[in-house]
């Protein structure tokens, strides 16, 4: 843990001036009682920034939130799990906009001050008949210390909720950063299938906040992969309300460096938690590439290895198959020289100079049998480096993702589809 910040409790409501609530609306299943809708709001004016999926097919809430964030003064985030509101056409956009309009009116905010996010199955209309009545409940239920409930409400295939908060001192003021996230499958670099909401009571300009968020996302959510898939709803939204007081943190200062380090930690911890909670995966694997001709080449190699189904299957089978790793290096389209490639597994040399290293296979198997280990690939060409966090590919993962028929079955009962 860095001396700059310390972990505290509270999640997204740890920072001053933020309130939240969560309710059960039966979004996916009307008889289910689990929390599936949540609202995060700042009690005072704030600035906002975010990043979204780079998938060219974008869900309605992504389009709406992107438009609202351009104004920079979003103060509330409405989110639901169970339905992605993606590939739902004009009606999907109307539903997303209606939710922001209703919540904005209830909070005495402009519609553009409310962002909206959804996660769940793609292609089904939103069950607004169950969602609309719960919007007023969310607003009246807003309170401090409800951060954990929000983290629980945004879960889909997650097996546990994910939240974190830290405290640091800047210019004599205690600054707090809180976050919650969801994600367990369809995880791929360049915004994984995930949602993450971050709050801070630090005083920031919109430009500074945007820069902080972009940098932290690049070294966290853009560095994880489970299955190489990218969804339609991926969103990271951060609100900063300045409630801690003091002067605005200016970019390029020592204070900005402290804040960036703390935000980097918060987002990376959330990103890693998504990989660890991958849908029935069993291994958390760090892939470090160094000695590449450039940063981009190192990135190509890391992503090729981390996304290789063959490599991931061998990890699941406790098989230290460096041959699968080097073949992925070779097709990554990075500049490589076979005779210079070194591969270490869990700190042990498996391949040196493109050839099998003199190492015990049993020793390598023990390394891969661990639930956490590191693959280090040195191309020995220059100084390009890149790190990505990945997982194995298990039979249970395949079984879990074989069918989503149950979603359509309920949707047919709701009259939302004829399938």
Q: Which residues pair with 178 in a beta bridge?
A: 165, 199
What is the C-alpha separation between 413 and 405, in angstroms, rounded? 13
Cα(275)–Cα(356) distance, rounded to whole angstroms?
Answer: 30
- Residue 286 designated active-site: no
The rounded radius of gyration (Å) of the Cα atoms in the chain is 22
Residue 51: CA atoms inside 13 Å, Cβ hemisphere, count? Answer: 22
Q: Is the pTM of this model over 0.85?
A: yes
Q: How far apart are alpha carbons 278 and 25 in whole angstroms?
A: 26
**Burial class of residue 90 (count of CB atoms within 10 Å of its CB; 0-12, 13-18, 19+):** exposed
Residues in the chain: 419
387: its two tokens:
């790190």
**Start-end of H helices in 108-244:** 128-140, 147-153, 206-218
Cα–Cα dist 224/239, whole Å: 23
Q: Cα torsion for 136, 140, 146, 148, to the nearest 10°? A: -10
Residues 263, 264, 269, 274, CA torsion sign: positive
pLDDT by residue for the chain (419 residues), tens only, comes to 678 999 999 999 999 999 999 999 999 888 889 999 999 999 999 999 999 988 889 999 999 999 999 976 999 999 999 999 999 999 999 999 999 999 999 999 999 999 999 998 889 999 999 999 999 999 999 999 889 999 999 998 788 899 999 999 999 999 999 999 997 544 444 554 589 999 999 999 999 999 999 999 999 988 888 656 667 888 999 999 999 998 999 999 999 999 999 999 999 999 999 888 766 788 999 999 999 999 999 999 999 999 999 999 999 999 999 999 999 999 999 999 999 999 999 999 999 999 999 999 999 999 999 999 999 999 999 999 999 999 998 887 777 766 555 555 666 666 666 65
| Residue of 76, 269, 72, 61 whose CA lies nearest to 163 | 269
Residues 6+ apart with CB under 8 A from 266: 164, 165, 166, 177, 179, 198, 216
Active-site position among 13, 148, 193, 225: 193
- 412: tokens are 């047919």
């Amino acid at each position: 843990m860095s001396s700059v910040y310390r972990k505290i409790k509270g999640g997204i409501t740890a920072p001053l001036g933020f309130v939240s609530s969560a309710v059960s609306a039966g979004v996916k299943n009307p008889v289910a009682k689990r929390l599936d809708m949540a609202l995060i709001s700042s009690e005072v004016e704030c600035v906002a920034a975010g990043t979204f999926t780079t998938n060219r097919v974008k869900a309605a809430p992504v389009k709406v939130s992107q438009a609202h964030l351009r104004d920079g003064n979003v103060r509330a985030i409405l989110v639901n799990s169970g339905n992605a509101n993606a590939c739902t056409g004009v009606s999907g956009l109307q539903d997303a906009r209606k939710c922001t309009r209703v919540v904005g009116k209830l909070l005495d905010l402009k519609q553009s001050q409310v962002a909206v996010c959804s996660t769940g199955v793609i292609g089904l209309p939103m069950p607004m008949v169950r969602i609309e009545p719960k919007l007023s409940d969310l607003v009246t239920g807003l309170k401090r210390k409800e951060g954990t409930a929000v983290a629980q409400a945004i879960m889909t295939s997650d097996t546990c909720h994910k939240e974190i908060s830290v405290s640091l001192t800047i210019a004599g003021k205690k600054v707090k950063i809180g976050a919650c996230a969801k994600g367990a499958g369809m995880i791929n670099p360049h915004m994984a299938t995930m949602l993450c909401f971050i709050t801070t009571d630090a005083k920031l300009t919109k430009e500074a906040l945007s820069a902080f968020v972009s940098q932290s996302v690049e070294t966290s959510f853009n560095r994880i992969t489970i299955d190489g898939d990218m969804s339609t709803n991926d969103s990271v939204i951060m609100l900063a309300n300045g409630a801690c007081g003091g002067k605005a943190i200016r970019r390029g200062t020592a204070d900005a460096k402290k804040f960036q380090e703390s935000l980097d930690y918060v987002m990376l911890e959330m990103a890693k938690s998504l990989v660890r909670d991958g849908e029935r995966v069993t291994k958390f694997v760090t892939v470090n590439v160094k000695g590449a001709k450039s940063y981009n080449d190192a990135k190509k190699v890391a992503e090729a290895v981390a996304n290789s189904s063959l490599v991931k299957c061998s990890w699941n089978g406790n098989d230290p198959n460096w041959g699968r790793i080097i073949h992925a290096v070779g097709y990554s389209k990075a500049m490589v020289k076979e005779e210079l490639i070194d591969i270490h597994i869990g700190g042990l040399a498996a391949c040196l100079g493109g050839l099998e290293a003199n190492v015990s296979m049993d020793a390598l198997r023990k390394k891969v049998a661990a639930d956490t280990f590191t693959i280090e690939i040195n191309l020995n060409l220059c100084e390009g480096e890149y790190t990505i966090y990945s997982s194995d590919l298990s039979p249970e993962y395949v079984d879990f993702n074989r069918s989503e028929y149950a979603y359509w079955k309920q949707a047919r009962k709701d009259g939302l589809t004829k399938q």
